[in-house]
Amino acid sequence: MNEWFSETMLRHQLLQLPAMLALGIFAGFWFSKYFHISFTVGITLLIFIMFSFIFWMLPHSIDLAVINTSFNRAMHVNMLLAGLFMIPILQSTLFEVKIIFLGMLSSMLIATGITLTVYDLLLCSSYNIAQQKETGSRFIIAGIILYAGTIFTFIRGSGKQ
Amino acid sequence: MLQISPVEIKRQRKLVIIWSITFMVVFPLLIILGLLMRLNQGEDINLGADTFYTLMTLHGLGMAGLLFTFSFAGLWYLVGTRQAKLNISVGYFVYTLVLIGVIGLAIATLIGKFGPGWYMLYPLPFIGVNWPAWSTGLAIVSLIIMGVAWLSGIIHLVSAMSKEFGGFSNLMGWQYLRKRKEGERDLPPIVMITTISLVPGLCAFLIGAAMLFMYLMQLLEPALHFNPLLMKNMVMFFGHTLVNITLYCCVGWVYALLPEYTGREWKTDKVLVYSWNATFIFILFAYFHHLYMDFAQPSAFQYIGQIVSYSSAIPATAITMFGVISQIYHSKIKWGVIPVCFLIGVAGWAIGGFSAVVDSTIAVNSVLHNTLWVPAHFHTYMLGGVVLFILGLIFYLSHTKEEQEKDKTAKFGFWLFVISIHCFIGMFYSGGLNSIPRRYADYKGIPIVSVHHTGALLAEIAALFIILLLIGLFIMYFAIIIKLSKQKNASLIKSV
């Protein structure tokens, strides 16, 4: 399964990472019943999650995750943890923080996507240029969907907090 | 009905006074940068091109940021003391982040010599530059910090109002478009205008954040090459919306405060709802008129730009002006400095708005786009509109109703300021009509002698009016500080 995910950049970035994150999120629903995360700890963990996303988008990290088994496992654990914390944090934190987190994540995805589509040099030696550009275009789509989702969440959720 | 305690009102007042003092310090400093630029163009001093563009960048970024931030702070105060409970900590959080951002920008420009102009058009900050990479990075990070501050404030403000008025659709005034329920709470226009101004702001700031992230990537990886047209669309969506909503935020105050002086209510009705909801759409698409010169932009967007720019002039502007006239007509209003600030501010908005519409006509824009007409129109509605609204609000904080009617110092300062503003702006308009190019550090290199001489002469005259408007501004400051210190002394005596 891991090999299949690592075969193309698109699967690695847009299937494997979100899949691990989603597993963490499902576990987080259960986890959130038992743990209350304070505001300051929540902000710290959100910064951790944000940095995790950034770290696993870096070309060198992607390369290492493909060729080095322990690094690959570290990636799985990291994304699982990021997902695990995400729900309890988003449930307990301020509405403003939630929207800014989602909004900034969408901006980052769009920016990274555009960068990958326009960059003509191979960033990850484990993949090829065509895969890099394809991943970029999917990132843009994911970013735009998240951007729309953020605005929708803001409009729908404002006043309910 | 909402109850806001006197303690809470006092806290909000303290915050807005801190904002006002910050504005009063930073604003003249930024004007002085403008004065230096005009003196350089008038060939009275020699700054050199590098310093000129550094000052131009700080002046532009500083003014756009300062005016938006204060217009937001004013809304925050008026909403937080009348319409909804706002968390004061969020207010101070926004203030602190904006301050950090401003300091960062000042260091990047004044020390780092960062000077690509206020909207940092791609690829200007990266190609053939004479400033170090750290100053570009610092400027970008500072803008991201300010963006986070504004986003936090916007989300909190809209969310608090939504909670108070029963949901987002009620904030947009949609309940007025159906049969209203018995005893349903009226929607104050300031609440609807705040929502309609700030939600497009949220959309634009997130796109601005994506653009700034791309700038950061470009900084880290010089081999990258983004599509300049895409970047310009992103910059203009962010920048145009920021400036546009600055004006609308201030207009919100006029709806809230002018009735206090005319004694007439200014209520929300169907016409107001339709017009401001239409404005919501126009705010998002009017920015296309900034891209008329970009031949690669699809033609359809150019037409949309012109149509939307024309359309945006009708609902909010016309309805507000008609509203202002019906507020003051036969109202027995006493013309103290506050209502005059609002009235002349609305006039500045109308004049600047009209010349903006003229410039948004494709056929006219192809002639005027790169001339001083462009700074003329935005100085008209920013300096002759937004700044007067801001001064009106600061007077509202410092003067009682009776004091503002009698304060001759304030009135003298105001009229000196307003007359100087319009004479100063007149030089820009004359420059535009005489084909004087904009964004030139000086006109020495222009081979047409008449253009060179006219440009330099108009810049010299403009510099004179800048000095006069600064004098007018300081006279108003004097009147404000005296009243504010009297209030402080009175409250001290009370507490003893």
B167 and chain A in contact, CB less than 8 A: yes
Please give the residue of chain A at the shortest CA–CA distance from B234: A111
- Nearest Cα of chain A lies from the Cα of B388 at a distance, in angstroms, of 31
- Give the pLDDT confidence score for residue B4 in this predicted structure: 86
Interchain proximity B226–A118, CB inside 8 Å: yes
For residue B30, is it within any domain?
Answer: yes
Residue A27 has pLDDT above 90, yes or no: no
For residue B263, is it within any domain?
Answer: no
Out of A106, A119, A151, closest to residue B224 by CB: A119
For residue B484, is it within any domain?
Answer: no
d(CA B56, CA B113): 11
Out of A100, A104, A115, closest to residue B217 by CB: A115
For residue B132, is it within any domain?
Answer: yes
Residue A161 has pLDDT above 70, yes or no: no
Q: CB-side exposure of B412: number of CA atoms within 13 Å?
A: 8
B298 and chain A in contact, CB less than 8 A: no
Identify the weakest region by mean pLDDT among A51-65, B115-129, B164-178, B429-443.
A51-65
Phi/psi of residue B193, nearest 5 degrees: -65, -40
Write out pLDDT tens, residues B281-338: 999 999 999 999 999 999 999 999 999 999 887 888 888 889 999 999 989 899 999 9
B199 and chain A in contact, CB less than 8 A: yes
**Element of type H or E holding A36:** none
Q: CB-side exposure of B17: number of CA atoms within 13 Å?
A: 16
Q: Which of B131, B276, B270 is nearest to B199 (CA)?
A: B276
Residue A6 has pLDDT above 80, yes or no: no
The predicted model scores a pTM of 0.91
- Domain holding B99, by residue range, is 1-178+185-254
Interchain proximity B206–A150, CB inside 8 Å: yes
Write out pLDDT tens, residues B448-471: 999 999 999 999 999 999 999 999
Residue B221 has pLDDT above 90, yes or no: no
- Nearest Cα of chain A lies from the Cα of B111 at a distance, in angstroms, of 29
Q: Which of B297, B485, B263, B465 is nearest to B383 (CA)?
A: B465
B118-135 average pLDDT score: 89
d(CA B443, CA B429): 17
Write out pLDDT tens, residues A99-119: 999 999 999 999 999 998 988
For residue B450, is it within any domain?
Answer: no
- DSSP assignment of B282-344, as one string? HHHHGGGGGGTT-TTS-HHHHHHHHHHHHHHIIIIIIHHHHHHHHHHTT------HHHHHHHH
Task: Indicate which of A43, A47, A139, A158 best probes the interface with B, i.e. most B CBs within 10 Å of its own CB.
Answer: A158
Structure tokens at A45: 């963990």
Contacts of B317 (CB under 8 A, 6+ apart): B349, B350, B353
Query: DSSP label at B175?
Result: G
Task: Indicate which of B93, B141, B155, B199 best probes the interface with A, i.e. most A CBs within 10 Å of its own CB.
Answer: B155
Interface predicted TM-score (ipTM) of this complex, two decimals: 0.85
Q: Which of B100, B104, B96 is nearest to B73 (CA)?
A: B96
CATH of the domain at B77: 1.20.210.10
Q: Does residue A88 contact residue A35 with C-beta atoms inside 8 Å?
A: yes
- Give the pLDDT confidence score for residue A39 in this predicted structure: 82
Q: Which of B389, B162, B409 is nearest to B257 (CA)?
A: B389
Out of A118, A155, A159, closest to residue B224 by CB: A118
For residue B62, is it within any domain?
Answer: yes
- Nearest Cα of chain B lies from the Cα of A80 at a distance, in angstroms, of 26
Q: Does residue B127 contact residue B54 with C-beta atoms inside 8 Å?
A: no
Residues forming beta bridges with residue B371, ordered by sequence position: B437
Residues forming beta bridges with residue B437, ordered by sequence position: B371
- Nearest Cα of chain B lies from the Cα of A39 at a distance, in angstroms, of 14
d(CA B449, CA B455): 10
For residue B60, is it within any domain?
Answer: yes
Residues in A 134-153 with any Cβ partner in B closer than 8 A: 143, 147, 150-151
How far is residue B164 from each of residues B2, B10, B129, B157, B395, measured CA to CA in Å?
8, 21, 50, 11, 29
Please give the residue of chain A at the shortest CA–CA distance from B220: A115
- Give the pLDDT confidence score for residue A86 in this predicted structure: 86
Q: Does residue B348 contact residue B282 with C-beta atoms inside 8 Å?
A: no
Residue B486 has pLDDT above 70, yes or no: yes
Interchain proximity B214–A115, CB inside 8 Å: yes
Going by pLDDT thresholds of 50, 70 and 90, the confidence category of residue B496 is: low
Write out pLDDT tens, residues A122-149: 877 778 889 889 989 999 999 999 999 9
Residues in A 87-106 with any Cβ partner in B closer than 8 A: 95-96, 99-100, 103-104, 106
Query: Percentage of chain B with pLDDT > 70?
Result: 99
For residue B426, is it within any domain?
Answer: no
Q: Does residue B43 contact residue B37 with C-beta atoms inside 8 Å?
A: no
Taking the alpha carbons of B487, B490, B495, B496 in that order, is the dihedral positive or negative?
positive
- Nearest Cα of chain B lies from the Cα of A144 at a distance, in angstroms, of 10
Q: Using a CB-CB distance cutoff of 8 angstroms, which residues of chain A are in contact with residue B233?
A: none
- Nearest Cα of chain B lies from the Cα of A108 at a distance, in angstroms, of 6
Structure tokens at B109: 């420009």
Residue B86 has pLDDT above 80, yes or no: yes
Going by pLDDT thresholds of 50, 70 and 90, the confidence category of residue B1 is: low
Write out pLDDT tens, residues B247-268: 999 999 999 999 999 999 999 9
- Give the pLDDT confidence score for residue B495 in this predicted structure: 62
- Give the pLDDT confidence score for residue B193 in this predicted structure: 93
Tally of domains in chain B: 1
Interchain proximity B210–A111, CB inside 8 Å: yes
